[in-house]
Chains A and B, each alone.
Chain A
Amino acid sequence: MSKKRDKLQIIYDILSVIKEKNGKIKPTNILYKSNLSNQMFNEYMGELIKKRFIIENKTKSGKVYSLTEKGFAYLNKYQMIVDFTGSFGLNE
């Protein structure tokens, strides 16, 4: 059985999925690839938009998401964030 993902790991997974198809990915694709329940997915997406990691754009075919500069920075510095928060007991 795989180890339960923590919050930082889930955010990393969602942002990685969005990065793959930056600016074109739809919520259903992110939901499928991030392996989350519908409720959890909505909570995380709301938080990521609120914290400005991603932006939501409305097109004719529906909503699409793209990473902000902050989202890219999170992905680049992810390992450092995990090391720091892990060693100083800052996991949420």
Chain B
Amino acid sequence: MIFFAITLLVGAYALRIYKLAGQRQSKLFGISFLFISAAYFVQSILNFAASYSMAEECSMRSMTAVHSLSNFGIYSHMILFITGLVTLAYMTLKIKNINAYALFLAAILAVLLLSSNKLYFFYALSSILLIYISFYYLENYLKSRKMSTLIVFTAFLFLLFGKIHFIFSIDHGTFYVAGHLLEFVAYTLILINLIDVIRRK
């Protein structure tokens, strides 16, 4: 729920900047964070439903319903999160071609949905996209040499490390916890940067 709230805040703020400046990059950035936010919202609901079903004594029928809901939730989370990252990567390319975006998104979603191990491919594809996005933010920092750009670059680096940890978490539970902790640090840094921008106005 924390990740959902932070990404929603950043997405909404980027769209506010778009409304003020009419800048296309802010619109794409805002949309990408809203997709990521929706992915975390779905995950929160999923976690809540799973903990509820474990706490209550459920019938076989309701257990099947929870299982179906769980599958739907996992797929929704993966599709929304990947769409968010693809939108963010498309924003960093600075090209104006909706067909290129559609092709980019369709190719990545096809790889994800047609793979035999969807969870593994989800973490692997997210990591590849985050490597590219992190390089973009490294360049952005090297151009400006400001603390705020360094914070954002570090945040995306932590997100990348988090996703890499999730790849290993499929076999080792400890990596799953480490992945969440790294993501928590990443979103905290993004929130710190956003608060700093708002306070400076």
Q: Spell out A's residues near B (CB within 8 Å).
A: 7-8, 11, 51, 53, 70, 73-74, 77, 79-81, 83-92
Partner of A87, one of B23, B24, B26, B151: B151
Q: How far is the CA of A31 from the CA of B28 in the complex (A)?
A: 31
Determine whether the beta carbon of A87 is less than 8 Å from that of B146. Answer: yes
On chain B, the number of residues with a Cβ less than 8 Å from chain A's Cβ atoms is 28
Name the 8 nearest CB pairs between A and B, nearest first.
Answer: A87-B148, A89-B140, A90-B25, A80-B201, A51-B22, A83-B197, A81-B21, A84-B197
Q: Count how many pairs of residues, one from A and one from B, have CB atoms less than 8 Å apart in the complex.
A: 70
B61 in the interface (beta carbon within 8 A)? no
Residues of B within 8 A of A88 (CB): 14, 29, 152, 193
Determine whether the beta carbon of A79 is less than 8 Å from that of B200. Answer: yes
Q: How far is the CA of A92 from the CA of B23 in the complex (A)?
A: 8
B54 in the interface (beta carbon within 8 A)? no
Residues of A within 8 A of B22 (CB): 51, 53
Interface centre among A11, A53, A73, A84 (most CB of B within 10 A): A84
Q: How far is the CA of A53 from the CA of B20 in the complex (A)?
A: 9
Interface centre among A8, A51, A80, A90 (most CB of B within 10 A): A90
Which residue from chain A places its CB closest to the CB of B10 in the assembled complex? Answer: A88
Query: Would you give the shortest CB distance from B168 to chain A, in whole angstroms?
Result: 29
Residues of B within 8 A of A70 (CB): 20
Partner of A84, one of B13, B24, B94: B13
Which residue from chain B places its CB closest to the CB of A51 in the assembled complex? Answer: B22
Determine whether the beta carbon of A86 is less than 8 Å from that of B24. Answer: no
Could you show 29 A-B contacts with beta carbons less than 8 Å apart?
Answer: A7-B23, A77-B20, A77-B201, A79-B201, A80-B17, A80-B197, A80-B201, A83-B201, A84-B26, A85-B21, A85-B26, A86-B144, A86-B148, A86-B149, A87-B146, A87-B149, A87-B152, A87-B193, A88-B14, A88-B193, A89-B136, A89-B140, A89-B149, A90-B23, A90-B25, A90-B26, A90-B29, A91-B25, A92-B94
Which residue from chain A places its CB closest to the CB of B27 in the assembled complex? Answer: A90
Query: Would you give the shortest CB distance from B157 to chain A, in whole angstroms?
Result: 14
B92 in the interface (beta carbon within 8 A)? yes
Considering only residues 142-181 of chain B, those with a C-beta below 8 Å from chain A are 144, 146, 148-149, 151-152
Residues of A within 8 A of B193 (CB): 87-88
Q: How far is the CA of A22 from the CA of B161 in the complex (A)?
A: 52
Q: How far is the CA of A91 from the CA of B146 in the complex (A)?
A: 15
Query: Would you give the shortest CB distance from A77 to chain B, in whole angstroms?
Result: 5
- B74-117 interface mask toward A, CB cutoff 8 Å, 1 = contact, 0 = none? 00000000000000000110100000000000000000000000
Which residue from chain A places its CB closest to the CB of B92 in the assembled complex? Answer: A89
Given contacts A84-B13, A87-B146, contact A8 B25 (CB under 8 A): no
Partner of B24, one of A8, A80, A83, A92: A92
